[in-house]
A and B are shown apart, each in its own frame.
Chain A
Amino acid sequence: RKEVEQDPGPFNVPEGATVAFNCTYSNSASQSFFWYRQDCRKEPKLLMSVYSSGNEDGRFTAQLNRASQYISLLIRDSKLSDSATYLCVVEYNFNKFYFGSGTKLNVKP
């Protein structure tokens, strides 16, 4: 079983739509959680950290459910520029990071 699992998508949504991605992780000792964004043929970049209490950054909301071992990312009012692959990242054993395979989002005009 993979450490971090994500639905690969693609999610094809119209501009303005709300879209949600989930990610599950296998190790209950995981310590830190992140969402990264990766554009085609580019390096991953941090989108947001995920805190236990949930957190919001503009149109993006991240939630963590430790009991069920999943993380979610909600994107409201999708923009064309949101089209990318979203990577779920889990850290445990201090500084060992596991990436999911990514969920591809296509926002259409």
Chain B
Amino acid sequence: DTGVSQDPRHKITKRGQNVTFRCDPISEHNRLYWYRQTLGQGPEFLTYFQNEAQLEKSRLLSDRFSAERPKGSFSTLEIQRTEQGDSAMYLCASSPNQGRQETQYFGPGTRLLVL
């Protein structure tokens, strides 16, 4: 399968713990996005990478959230000191950087539950 993959698919953690999610984009896609989706809502933009450079961060991304894409391939999203309000689906998407009207290809998501 050469699509976007995310790991883990599910994560249950206790409030205050740190969690890290991984995203492997489609190879040769140099744009990578992180979104958060809660029930009944569409995905909300969190951050975006062009290769290894983090070009945009939403104000939704508090200081407890950090994302990296060290070699311009896979990316990690870390949440420190998790709160119950962090419970959501975290989606990763990649796109090939071919100009306008770009298709984003989404991974299956990591579903986080903070108890």
Q: Are B106 and A95 in contact (CB under 8 A)?
A: no
Q: Are A102 and B42 in contact (CB under 8 A)?
A: yes
Selected contact of B109 from candidates A43, A46, A95, A99, CB within 8 Å? A43
Given A42-B108, A44-B106: A32 in contact with B42 (beta carbons within 8 A):
no
B101 cross-chain contacts in A, Cβ below 8 A = 32, 34, 49, 51
Given A96-B48, A97-B33: A46 in contact with B104 (beta carbons within 8 A):
yes
A87 cross-chain contacts in B, Cβ below 8 A = 42-43
B105 cross-chain contacts in A, Cβ below 8 A = 46
Q: Total number of A-B contacts with CB less than 8 angstroms?
A: 52
Size category of the binding interface on chain A: 20 to 34
In the bound complex, how far is the Cα of B9 from the Cα of A42, in angstroms?
Answer: 11
Q: Which chain B residues numbered 64 to 98 have a C-beta less than 8 Å away from chain A?
A: 91
Q: Are B56 and A99 in contact (CB under 8 A)?
A: no
* Chain A 37-67 interface mask (CB, 8 Å, partner B; 1/0): 0000011111001010000000000000000
Q: Which chain A residues numbered 60 to 98 have a C-beta less than 8 Å away from chain B?
A: 87, 93, 95-98
In the bound complex, how far is the Cα of B109 from the Cα of A48, in angstroms?
Answer: 21
B50 cross-chain contacts in A, Cβ below 8 A = 95
Given A32-B100, A43-B107, A43-B109: A96 in contact with B56 (beta carbons within 8 A):
yes
The smallest C-beta distance from A98 to any residue of chain B, in angstroms, reads 7
Closest CB pairs A-B (n = 4): A99-B42, A43-B106, A49-B101, A99-B43
Known: A46-B104, A95-B48. 16 other contacts (CB 8 A): A4-B42, A42-B108, A43-B108, A44-B43, A44-B106, A46-B103, A49-B101, A49-B103, A51-B101, A87-B43, A96-B45, A96-B48, A98-B45, A99-B44, A101-B40, A101-B41
